[in-house]
Each structure stands twice: as C-alpha cells, then as structure tokens.
Structure 1
Amino acid sequence: MSDLRIINVEKQYKQPQQKDHSAFSLRPVNLTIHEGEFFSLLGPSGCGKTSLLKLVAGLLAADNGEIWIGDQNFTRVPSEARNFAMVFQQSLLFPHMTIEDNVAFGLKMQKVDKQQRLTKARDMLEHVGLHGYGKRFPDELSGGQQQRVALARALVANPRVLLMDEPFSALDPGLREEMRDLLSRIQLEFHVTVLFVTHDREEAFSLSDRIAVMSQGELLQVGSAKELYERPLTTKVASFLGMKNIIEGQVEDGRFRSADGSFELLVDATIQHASSYLIIRPEAIQLVSEDAPTPATAFRFQGMVEQMKFNHGFYSVNVTVGKSLLTCSLTSQQADTLYAGKSIILQIDAKDAWLINE
C-alpha cells in the first residue's frame, strides 16, 4: 500500500529580530493517511493546518521529521518532483489560456504529446461537469466553474496525493455544497488520496473518511466524524466540534456528580476520583412525561425551557438545569407543547453520556 506517512514532522517560525522567541511552532506530527483515503485537517485559523499541508507538498522545509509514501522517502524530494497536486482557495488559472490548455498544462510540463494531453484534458473536463467549456477562457466562467477547472487540472496528471487548502471557502453556500458532492464523487471514482484542509466542521464531516483536529500547532485527535463527535478526548476537541452540553463535575466512588448537584449518574467503576466533564449530545436528550417509567440504564432531570429555535425540521431547545444551560434537539411534534418558562422532564441513557477526565 502506498500510504502517506508523516513521521515526527515539525516546523518552528521565528518572530523577526527575535531569534530566541518562537512566533509559532508546529509540534511533532505523526500521521498515516491510507492510499485512496479522504483525510481532513480540521481546526481554527492559525492552528498549523496549512503549514502541515505545505510541508507535505514540499513548499516548506521541515525542521525535523520525514515524509514517506510507501517505501519511498520524499522528505528531500523537490516539490515539483513529488507528483502531488494542489488546489487552493483561489483557482489560480492562467487567464491567457483556454480552459482545456489550463487543464493540460501539467501534462505539457511532463512532455506529453499535444493531442494526447488535450484528449485527457477534455475527458477530465467532462468528469467535472464542464463538457464543451474547453475553448472558453477563465474570465468567462463563474467562481464555481473555475474551481472545477482547478480540480480537473489537479487530477489530470494522476497525482500520488491531491492536496487541497480550503478550496471552497470563497464560494457561496449553495456552490460549496455542490462542489463537495462533486469532489466526493470524483475522489471515489479515481481512488485518489486526498489531504484536505478546512476550518468548516460540516465540510470535514460530510467529506472525510477520517479527520485530524488541530489547535495551536498540535494534533489533538484523529478519528472518523462519528468517533470525534461521540467520543472526543478533550473538552477542547468537544468545544471546537460545537458541543454545548459540557458539564463540569467530579467522579468519586463510581459516580459522577456535577458541581451544582443537578446531575448525578453511575459511571465505569474503574474511573478514578478526578475532576471530570460530562458531555451530553443534544439529540441524545429525550423529553419524557412525569409518570413515564425510568429504565435502569437511564437518568432523568428537571429543567425549564429558556428558548426555542427552529432548524431544518427540528427545534433546538435551550433548557436550564440547575446552573447549566443544556441544548436539546427535539422534533417539531415534541416541541409543539413547549414554550419559554415551561418546566419539563428530560432523560438520557447512560450509554449516551460521555465522560472526559482532565
């Protein structure tokens, strides 16, 4: 397997005229990205995602560490010799060239025969939904169409790895969704390995086989979207992924108790006495009636409705429980009986509660 392996790669930047003070450092990164995998680097601006992408591309030299594909060491291979393709936020098309010449440009640099490279370019344009656009120029295309051309240009040379740096962030929401669907289909069709940089959680979750969450130059956690969402390892990961129901408390004698005493539940007996955080996903919270029986594995609590917002067929309901403000995701039918100020009873199954010790 020609997996991409990033081994102890790090990079340190210096502030101008301050030789001993680091402005930013990318701490040692160890990652294996499998052949044909769609892998995303997810994190806020300035966390080191693009720096890591450029280190993989060979556009930056690492201070330490190595880049391998299969049994080949690419650490000191010039970027132009790696056969990696890169797509940026801007399409960076040559304005004086036709669309098919833009797509074929990489093949021209590889000395591919003109007729053969134009045939391949036209075929790739068809794959990205731009059949018949080959004779046009970039300024005749919309932003979304230009990014389709950039994607075709990147793929036509059959790259070992496709590197993408927030390629859809300049597009409006409708076009972003359209481009995600196209990229997902194309990636599966060509079985190309993709390393994708984004700060958009929805984008990473919808596209990726696996995701690495980054913060302040550090790799925090790697996993599938489901693993990251349901089992974050730290509150920093949980917060970045948009989880709101993070409740501080203590574990003692096999029981978690929140700081204000509003939440108390049995936990794994092997968990030691420690300060902990209970995470409850909004969709795991159930609205129940007072006389409904409580399953042995569930715990329930009383709260007061503070606010309700309709969102894509569901209601996001904010409920005060003790000193905590919980967000619940309820169906329209469940929310029909609710209003701000109403006292309600909520329930969660113990298996849906996630505990983090920090």
Structure 2
Amino acid sequence: MSAELEVVRLDKHFAGSPTPALRDFSLHVAAGTCTAVLGPSGSGKSTLLRVIAGLEQADAGHVRIGGREMDEVDAERRGVGMVFQRSLLFPHLSVRDNVAFSDRIRGASKARARDRAEEYLGMVRLSGFGDRGVDELSGGQEQRVAIARALAAEPAVLLLDEPFSALDPALRSDMHDLLDAVRSQVAPTIVLVTHDRDEAARASDRIALIEHGVLLHESDVHDAYRRPQSLRASVLMGGRNAVRGAVRDGIHHSALGAVPVPGAADGTGVMVVRQEDVTVQGDEPRRAAGTVDSEALAFGGVVEDVRITGPRSEVQVRCGDVLLHAEDAPTRSRRIGERVSVVIPVGAVHVVAE
C-alpha cells in the first residue's frame, strides 16, 4: 500500500498573489517512508499537498506516483488519501460507516465494508467505537477515525495536512505513537505538513524545509538540525548561533578566532552550531578558554542573560564581540555577569552560506 512519490519542478501561482505559492519545487519521497514538509504559515506547504492530491493544478512541473505521471489523472483516481487539520467526518454516519465509506463507493457489500472498517478501527486503537456517532468523539478520536478512513481506501500515498495541530501536547504525543504503529503495520508513503519542528523530527524519516514556495533543505532529521544547507534553513530548524566570517584552507576566521571546519569551501561563510551542543562550564573549565584541540573548542565569556524554558535554561554568553546561546539544566544556577567557559565539540561546527 505504498509507492514512490516524486514532484518535479512544480510552479503554482494564485491570481492576486505577488509571489508564487510554489517555485521550481522538487521532492522525492521513497516508498514506505515519511517526509515532513516544514515551514512557516503561508510558505506553500498545503498548496504542495493539494497539487499532489490533484485538488489544485500546477502551472508547471509534474507529480509522479509509483513512476506514473499524475498530471492528467483525476484526484479520485490518484491513489492518494488525505487527512486535514479538521477531521471532516460525515456527521450523519456512524464511526464504522465513516471508515467503510470508501469500500462502499468501490462497490463492496455493506457487510464486507463494515468488517474491513473494524480492522482499521483496531489499527488506530478504536475497537468498540464503531456504533458511536461522530458527535460522541473527542478531537483526538475524530482524527483517529479520519486516519482510519483514509487508510481504508488503501492509498499509495497518505497526505497529512497538520492533522494534530489542534490537539493538546499529550494527545499529539499519543498521535505520534499511533502513526508509528500504523507505519509498522501497513508502511504507507507519507507526506506530513507541519509548522512544528519537534513534530517533524518525531514523526518523520526526512525533513523538507519550504519558504515562499522554495525548497530550502531536504535531508534526514539529523542533518536538518546539524548540517543545514543555508543560514535560513538553520534558523527554521531553531538554530540560535550564527558567527559570520571567512574560510581559508579549512579554517573559519571570525571574531571568535580561528576554528577548524574540515571540508568547508574557501570564501565567506557563517559558522553555525546548535545551542544544545554548546556547554557552559563554571569556575573550573576542563579546557582553558581560547584553546582549540582535536575534540573541542573553548572560549572565555561572561553570562549576559539566563532564561528558563521548561526543562532547560537558555544561557547567553558574551565572548568578545560574539553572543553565543547555550542550553543548560535549570538546576545549574548561572548568574548574569558570571565569568564562564563555553565549550563546543569540533564535530558540532558547520559552515553555511549567508
């Protein structure tokens, strides 16, 4: 029940809009994998899904599913299932008959369609809910039914358009676990649209970053965080540290000094490092400030700000002309004005274009 998905150089422009919704956008999703399309509101995420589903026609480019071009194929014949932020269940049908709907449309008997509906309700952990009305469900249960209904159609590609964004954090976590269970059983090809990078990292194999209709970055989850393809991609993934400078012979020169960046091309470049990879040490640092060795960099600095952000503290340290952001356990009491050492693993350093 899965197929390779390719979108090739898609362009889409809406009348009255000064900028394209999609611009030369290409993406490959391997069969049975999940790619999260992540970007701010208005970036083109939902338009991309609608073009894949056949609900919008692209101005240029192609959509291929299982190697077959879909450009002239009607939406209902593409083998695509779609789940939206709102469940859009049929209010006049029971839960069971909502899930059975696609089989009934395809000509299955009522008994057969209902039996299969029970299988998919079990898959989304709603066994015993078949006789309920839609108005008897919670928001999370509605989305489970919507996913079961989409899966019952046996789509080659399952498109999820921010389906969990209206749920509270605990329910969203439950839905991510559910998605894992569904993938282990039927391995659909999934494109998940979200504006939440934590959700993208939790639920997907790969992340595609989009802004103003343009693909900024596409990779596995690790590289999306720690090897972004541009400064803007780093920012969209929540990166806080960006040190401008220039690379010469594998060394990045900046206000922080000379930092080894093996493999980086010569020229201007921005050194980025995740704040969670930056360690703040107190009065007895393991390395002297200002040193560089094969494993780590160390810089002396002064704590400029401390903010508690849930289970972590964000510590801002002024190292000369550079302000570095680090994450620390809130149990470690850092004082504004305290002199500290900042330690960064060499492997955590990455250089991107401006």
TM-score under structure 1 length normalisation = 0.91
Q: CA deviation at 1:134?
A: 0.8
Q: CA deviation at 1:350?
A: 2.3
**Distance in structure 2 (CA, Å) of the matches to 1:189 and 1:41:** 23
Of 24, 46, 58, which residue of structure 1 is paired with 2:42? 46
The answer to whether the aligner puts 1:113 opposite 2:109 as a matched pair is: yes
Give the equivalent residue in structure 2 for 1:18. Answer: none
Tell me the C-alpha RMSD between the 2 structures.
Answer: 2.0
Of 233, 251, 258, which residue of structure 2 is paired with 1:264? 258
Give the equivalent residue in structure 1 for 2:305. Answer: 307
Q: Which moved more, 1:95-104 or 1:321-330?
A: 321-330
Q: CA deviation at 1:254?
A: 4.4
Query: Structure 2: any 5+ residue segments left out of the alignment?
Result: none
Of 313, 316, 319, which residue of structure 2 is paired with 1:318? 316
Give the equivalent residue in structure 1 for 2:251. Answer: 255
Q: CA deviation at 1:276?
A: 1.5
**Distance in structure 1 (CA, Å) of the matches to 2:145 and 2:350:** 44
Check whether the contact 2:53–2:75 (CA below 8 A) recurs between aligned residues: yes
The answer to whether the aligner puts 1:287 opposite 2:284 as a matched pair is: no
The answer to whether the aligner puts 1:145 opposite 2:141 as a matched pair is: yes
Check whether the contact 2:25–2:213 (CA below 8 A) recurs between aligned residues: no
Task: Provide the identity percentage.
Answer: 36
Q: CA deviation at 1:220?
A: 0.8
**Distance in structure 1 (CA, Å) of the matches to 2:300 and 2:63:** 54
Give the secondary-structure state (helix, strand or coil) at the position aligned to 1:30.
strand
**Structure 1 residues 345 and 159, CA gap change in structure 2 (3 angstroms):** same
**Structure 1 residues 254 and 225, CA gap change in structure 2 (3 angstroms):** closer
Query: Structure 1: any 5+ residue segments left out of the alignment?
Result: 16-20
Check whether the contact 1:14–1:24 (CA below 8 A) recurs between aligned residues: no
Of 93, 98, 102, which residue of structure 1 is paired with 2:94? 98
Cα-to-partner distance string for 1:301-355 (whole Å, 9 max, x where unaligned): 111112334456543222122233221123456x24x322100112223222111
> Which letter does structure 1 place at the counterpart of 2:275?
P
Output aligned runs, 1:189-338, within 5 Å: 189-252=185-248, 254-258=250-254, 261-268=255-262, 271-272=265-266, 274-288=267-281, 289-290=284-285, 292=287, 296-297=293-294, 298-311=296-309, 313-331=311-329, 335-336=332-333, 338=334
> Which letter does structure 1 place at the counterpart of 2:54?
G
> Which letter does structure 2 place at the counterpart of 1:203?
E
TM-score under structure 2 length normalisation = 0.92
Give the equivalent residue in structure 1 for 2:350. Answer: 354
Q: CA deviation at 1:67?
A: 1.5
Give the equivalent residue in structure 1 for 2:14. Answer: 13
Check whether the contact 1:42–1:204 (CA below 8 A) recurs between aligned residues: yes
Alignment length, in residue pairs?
Answer: 348
**Greater than 6 Å deviation, 4+ residue runs:** none
Give the equivalent residue in structure 2 for 1:70. Answer: 66
> Which letter does structure 2 place at the counterpart of 1:350?
V
Q: CA deviation at 1:256?
A: 2.1
**Distance in structure 2 (CA, Å) of the matches to 1:123 and 1:45:** 36
Check whether the contact 1:12–1:63 (CA below 8 A) recurs between aligned residues: yes
Check whether the contact 1:315–1:332 (CA below 8 A) recurs between aligned residues: yes
